[in-house]
Amino acid sequence: MPPRRRAKAEAVLKNAVDNVEAHILLSQVYASQGEWGKAIATLRTALSLEPTRIALALQLADLYQRHNDP
């Protein structure tokens, strides 16, 4: 995943820490780099900001499974 996606997400979060889409993007960047702990933590933050967004819960479950942590 291009470094500019990570930089873009981090820039958005610098000014808007509650931006769910930026947290999702950053989580995807971390996952693509195999940084499962960071990917999970970042996606958990996104889910805490929008707890009724079922797709986030499913993405989080997928990350746990890919990290071999059912």
Q: Structural domain of residue 41, as residue ranges?
A: 3-66
What does pTM read for this prediction? 0.86
Q: Which domain CATH number covers 39?
A: 1.25.40.10
Q: pLDDT, tens digit, for every residue of 10-58?
A: 999 999 999 999 999 999 999 999 999 999 999 999 999 999 999 999 9
Q: Is the pLDDT of residue 2 over 70?
A: no
Specify the number of domains making up the chain. Answer: 1
| Long-range pairs for 59-63: beta carbons < 8 A, 24 or more residues apart | 59/24, 59/27, 63/27, 63/31, 63/36, 63/39
